Structure 1
Amino acid sequence: MSGSSIVFTRRGFWRGVRISLPMVPAMAPFGLIVGVLADGRGLSWLETILMSALVFAGTSQLVALELWTDPAPILGATLAAFVINLRLAPMGAALAPWLDKLRGWKLWGTLATLVDNSFAISIADQRAGGKDAALLLGVGLTFWIFWMSMTGLGHAFSGLIALPPGHPIFFASVATLVALMVPLWRGAGEILPWAVAAVAAVTASHVLGLGQPWPVLAGAIIGAAVGAWRDRVR
């Protein structure tokens, strides 16, 4: 794929919106729970919406809210969110054929709305020969708007939402992410980095007993390092 052929069009943007719409309902349980937890920690509805808009990362928000006390540990919560979101760095590197051709609001708007699901959709399209970088912004912006809506609803109706922690509906967001990983599979060569990332995360969590964000960070960094080594050997 030639870098000079990369485009950024309205058609690509709306294509991203259409692709993402069937997937956004799976975000609803996760967003509602974040909103409920934010209300339980004493955040106002406006503060919850602003947190979702500025952080826009469910795992980071959950970890930050778990750390929330009075007075709020601003430095600790910020550091936790930063560490978890470090996984976005290798995602941006993988999308470089698109991102390197963008400037101004196109670049920063796309980066600001980049999350796991939008990355998975876009990298699959890129590997299939896709050349319209606006697809990534269309997907990310759709998820961003829906995420704020769900966390806001969760906060507003927190008194009516009382699902038990192990309710099957909470698996919806995980199931969606697993399904999005299918197009990323490129054959047996993917087994090593994926398996190493999984082992690293499980080891950090269940063997070393580390809480978030360390399992996520261990899986992301070690898995990416093994993948880079594999590509270099090839």
Structure 2
Amino acid sequence: MKHASPSLPDRLPFTVPGLLAGFRACAPVALGVGVYGVLFGLLARQKGLSWLEAQSMSLLIFAGASQLISLDLWGPELPVLSLIATTFIVNLRHVLMGAALSPQLMRLSGRQAYGSLFFMTDESWAVALARWAEDRRRAAGSDGAFLLGAGLAVYCFWNASTALGHLLVRGLDDPARYGLDFAFTAVFTALLVGLKPRRADVLPLAAAVAAALAVARFCPGKWYILAGAMAGGLTAAFLPEPQNAGDDR
């Protein structure tokens, strides 16, 4: 039987040291994000986007997967409805990500929570989720600014690498030849290891993989992302609680 969580204060502190801790914790992962930031800048230039256009997308939209998907659809006649629908589907996973962080976000002011969520990425979400879960296990105090700091680390590296890829990288007509197309997979594999999956996570992970592969096989577009997220989340929600603390490892 799980031990009851310690009582939590109504509000989380939101401090500069907490922000800096989040930045430092996410910086190694953000370096990996920089690899496909270079790829985005390079591909944006090949698609005919100016540096200002590509950089504005990274500064204002700041959604790596959606930005790369938009380049796949980019052309003289931009399919606006398809672009909107595809990016909407891809980003629906953020609903589940926000729900996973809601116990902490609900203890921040609206400005702190929504400001942090603008900068939230898959990488900063995973780092913050792991840190806050560790704080809870140790009955230690958490800092609400950790998520913002982690997101700012990714934001800085993503924008710097966009400029690097667009302005400086030349002669890479086929990025896959140099393994840059594997950067996404490598970063997300590292994030999964960092989250320290438990035995109880095996079935949700298997359900997510199976659903994603099945939907990718039979449905066009990016629906497999939402299908995997929903299958894994629902499986975890309906699993029984571990019978003892050892089962939760």
TM-score normalized with structure 1 length: 0.89
1:48 aligned residue (40, 43, 54) = 54
In the alignment, is residue 192 of structure 1 matched against residue 186 of structure 2? no
Cα distance change, pair 125–203 in 1 and its aligned pair in 2 (3 A): same
The letter of the residue matching 2:215 is: A
Cα distance change, pair 71–210 in 1 and its aligned pair in 2 (3 A): closer
Cα distance change, pair 233–82 in 1 and its aligned pair in 2 (3 A): farther
Aligned to 2:246: none
TM-fit CA distance, 1:149: 1.4
Q: Greater helix percent: which structure?
A: 1
The letter of the residue matching 2:145 is: A
- Which protein is bigger by CA-based radius of gyration? 2
Where 1:153 maps in the other structure, the secondary structure is helix
Deviations 1:94-130 (A, max 9, x none): 1112111222432222100111111111111111125
Aligned to 1:141: 152
TM-fit CA distance, 1:169: 4.5
Distance 1:169 1:82 in 2: 25
In the alignment, is residue 154 of structure 1 matched against residue 165 of structure 2? yes
Distance 1:69 1:231 in 2: 50
5+ residue gaps, structure 1, are: none
Cα distance change, pair 201–166 in 1 and its aligned pair in 2 (3 A): farther
Where 1:8 maps in the other structure, the secondary structure is coil
TM-fit CA distance, 1:226: 1.6
Distance 2:174 2:78 in 1: 27
In the alignment, is residue 208 of structure 1 matched against residue 214 of structure 2? no
TM-score normalized with structure 2 length: 0.84
Where 2:176 maps in the other structure, the secondary structure is coil
Distance 1:231 1:33 in 2: 43
The answer on whether the counterparts of 1:5 and 1:131 sit within 8 Å (CA) in structure 2 is no
TM-fit CA distance, 1:209: 5.5
Matches within 5 A, 1:115-130: 115-129=121-135
Distance 2:219 2:127 in 1: 32
The letter of the residue matching 1:177 is: F
The letter of the residue matching 2:239 is: R
Aligned to 1:217: 226
Cα distance change, pair 230–182 in 1 and its aligned pair in 2 (3 A): same
Distance 1:75 1:105 in 2: 31
The answer on whether the counterparts of 1:63 and 1:81 sit within 8 Å (CA) in structure 2 is yes
1:21 aligned residue (27, 46, 53) = 27
Q: How many residues align?
A: 232
Aligned Cα root-mean-square deviation (Å): 2.2
Deviations 1:50-77 (A, max 9, x none): 2112322221111111111213223321
The letter of the residue matching 1:77 is: L
TM-fit CA distance, 1:84: 0.3
5+ residue gaps, structure 2, are: 1-5, 136-140, 244-249
Once the two structures are aligned, what percentage of the paired residues are identical?
37
The answer on whether the counterparts of 2:11 and 2:108 sit within 8 Å (CA) in structure 1 is no
TM-fit CA distance, 1:167: 2.9
Cα distance change, pair 228–166 in 1 and its aligned pair in 2 (3 A): farther
TM-fit CA distance, 1:5: 5.5
Matches within 5 A, 1:72-151: 72-129=78-135, 131-151=142-162
The answer on whether the counterparts of 1:113 and 1:140 sit within 8 Å (CA) in structure 2 is yes
